[in-house]
Amino acid sequence: MRCALLSIGLLLWSSQATAFAVLTNPDLLLTALQAAQQAALQEQAALQEQATCPAWQPSHLPATPQGWQNEYYRLRPLFPQCLGSADYLAYLGAIELRTGRIGNALDTLERALLLNPLHGAAQMDYAQALHYNGDPFAAQSLNRQLLSNPNLPPLIRQQISLNQKRLNQLLNTFTHQLTLSAGYDSNLNTSPSINQLTLTLDGEEWLVALNEGLEPRSGAVAHLGLSSRYTQRQANSRRSFELSLNSRLSENRHDQQHQLSARYQQHHRLISDNSLDHELALIALQHGDKHNFTTLEAQQSWQRAQPLAFLSSSAATKANANADATTSSRHCQFIASHTLAYQDFPSRNHLNAVEYRLAPRVECDLNPSQLSLGVTAMYNHALENSRAGGNRQGHELTAQWYRPLGKGRLQAQARYSQWQDNHGYSPTLLNNARRKVVRNQLSLAYLLPLSPHVLLTTQAALQKQTSNLSMFEFNSRQFDFGIRWQF
């Protein structure tokens, strides 16, 4: 009856004004009495359920999976009679957790914690159930609260600390990737397919033969790639740092390339479930014996959470009355990014520039295929007035397509880019005409898993660049075959 008296006291004497209102208003007094009576009945029912709960305590804990199953079948029938026993509910929830009944365990352990919010075993198992149910962040937060309790028994503290360590290892990971491949490249030095060049001197055109060393060089190549990534995940964010080295090795050391890059990325999930990403990258490229250039890039991208309605559809079909419904969905999402990059050429400072790119794209899940379509607008600002052509601007269209094929995945990519200078490139080339460049790229790759961590890769690519200035035209064909190992 203490709950009933407390309810009346709270209703009648919480403040002087409330007390006066109750005493002078019969309806309000009747409501208070009914609430107190209801509380008394609930308390009486809980005490009766606890009093009628039969003895359930085990003589010993099961030592085998089958033993836990037998314990579940022994205790589950007592559930209606023992709803008022926090110890019973905590033990039953632990059994359901260990027998794979995660949904039931969450419900049972929540009931136990409602009866006794400080039940240590129920709290510990509830954190584990949250983890197994796909919410490791809530589990991590609950474990942190439990460990802050100075009165936690040593054995329970040890187990919770072990669970927290496992969660931290799951949410904070190191991953590494090694790529090895060999193939062929028809134009290792990216040279134009011409043997002479037309120059304009004093208003007259002259044909100049090019040095044989400037002709396209073809040959076998080997690719080596090594990357390491550290990722830290939180409830509404993720951040990672990646360091990678990619090398192209060939017989002629002047055609070898080495690229070293460092990237820092942050992913934030916004209140509306849209997402915002930030990336900072430092990339250094060396071609042959010379350090060609270094670029520092800062990128920000935004992804819309809701699918684009006019590009999305869903359909559910049912084969027969006894079959499960299978749902196929098609949805597209919109992503927009913009990038600011500083480009530094150590040995040719007159080429230094700042570049800005704006790149919206649409990614579609076509089940089973995936398609990505994007467009990029680019503006490159020369930091020195002496750069040939001055500033330049352009655009790029990209399309990527993925589809499962056999036991692997087929992926294709097409890229079209076009840009032009704002000023004439050189008085000796087409009377100081502005340079215009168009590049087409097409690649096809197939990835075949050999094991959970090893992929067999095959890739072929074509590239063609045309220009009104013939010295900037080239063609290339590449093919390579290799493996990718993630560990």
Q: Give the domain CATH number at 97.
A: 1.25.40.10
Q: Report residue 317's pLDDT band, with 50, 70 and 90 as the boundaries.
A: very low
Domain-located, residue 32: no
Query: Taking residues 360-380, what's their average pLDDT?
Result: 95
Same-domain pairing of 200 and 80: no
Give the pLDDT of residue 28: 41
Residue 277, CB-side half-sphere exposure with 13 Å CA sphere: 18
Question: Residue range 123-144: average pLDDT?
Answer: 89
pLDDT of 7 strictly over 50: no
Pair 161, 183 in one domain: no
- In a shared domain, residues 112 and 202: no
Span 407-417, mean pLDDT? 97
User: In the predicted model, what is the mean pLDDT of residues 404-431?
Assistant: 95
Could you report the per-residue pLDDT of 77-106, keeping only the tens digit for each?
999 999 999 999 999 999 999 999 999 999
Label residue 280 by pLDDT band (50, 70, 90): very high
**Do 264 and 165 reside in the same domain of the chain?**
no
CATH number of the domain encompassing residue 427: 2.40.160.40
Q: Which range among 44-48, 270-274, 443-447 shows the weakest confidence by mean pLDDT?
A: 44-48
Give residues with Cβ within 8 angstroms of 336, minimum separation 6. 301, 302, 358, 359, 360, 361
The domain in which residue 144 lies consists of 53-171
Q: Are residues 154 and 215 in the same domain?
A: no
DSSP state of 191: -
| Whether residue 301 is found in the same domain as residue 407 | yes
Give the pLDDT score at 43: 53
Tell whether 249 is covered by a domain.
yes
Question: How many domains does the chain fold into?
Answer: 2
Which residue did the predictor score with more confidence, 46 or 26? 46
Q: Mark which of 151, 171, 191 sits at the end of a domain.
A: 171
Same domain, residue pair 160 and 245: no
Do the Cβ atoms of 26 and 32 come closer than 8 Å? no
Give the whole-number percent of the chain exceeding pLDDT 70.
83
Kindly indicate the confidence band of residue 358, based on its pLDDT and cuts at 50, 70 and 90.
very high
The mean pLDDT of 60-66, rounded to a whole number, is 87
Largest CA distance in the chain: 112
Is 321 within the bounds of a domain? no
pLDDT of residue 38: 54
Q: For 400-417, what is the mean pLDDT? A: 97
Q: Hey, is 307 helix, strand or coil?
A: coil
Confidence of residue 110 (pLDDT cuts 50, 70, 90): very high
Question: Considering the domain boundaries, does residue 462 fall inside one?
Answer: yes
Q: Are residues 161 and 243 in the same domain?
A: no
Average pLDDT over residues 400-413: 97
Please list, in sequence order, all residues whose beta carbon lies within 8 angstroms of the beta carbon of residue 389, skipping any fewer than 6 positions away.
421, 422, 423, 424, 425, 434, 435
- pLDDT attached to residue 213: 66
- Show which of 143, 171, 199 is a domain's final residue: 171
- Asked whether the predicted pLDDT for residue 393 surpasses 50, the reply is yes
With both helix axes pointing from N to C terminus, report the angle between 136-147 and 154-171 in degrees, rounded to the nearest 10: 150
- In a shared domain, residues 156 and 258: no
Stronger pLDDT, 208 or 180, i.e. the higher one = 180
Question: Is residue 275 domain-shared with residue 388, that is, in the same domain?
Answer: yes
Q: pLDDT averaged over the chain?
A: 84
User: Is residue 214 a part of any domain in this protein?
Assistant: yes
Q: How confident is the model at residue 338 (pLDDT cuts 50, 70, 90)?
A: very high
Angle, alpha carbons 449-133-234 (nearest 5°) = 80
Share of the chain above pLDDT 90, in %: 58
Residue 12 lies inside a defined structural domain of this protein: no
Of 171, 199, 224, the one marking the end of a domain is 171
Q: Looking at the domain assignment, is residue 73 inside a domain?
A: yes
Same domain, 368 and 256: yes
Higher pLDDT, 25 or 21: 25
- The pLDDT of 343-372, averaged and rounded, is 94
Are residues 105 and 251 both part of a single domain? no
Most confident of 25-34, 209-218, 362-371: 362-371
Q: What is the pLDDT of residue 185?
A: 96
Is residue 290 in a domain? yes
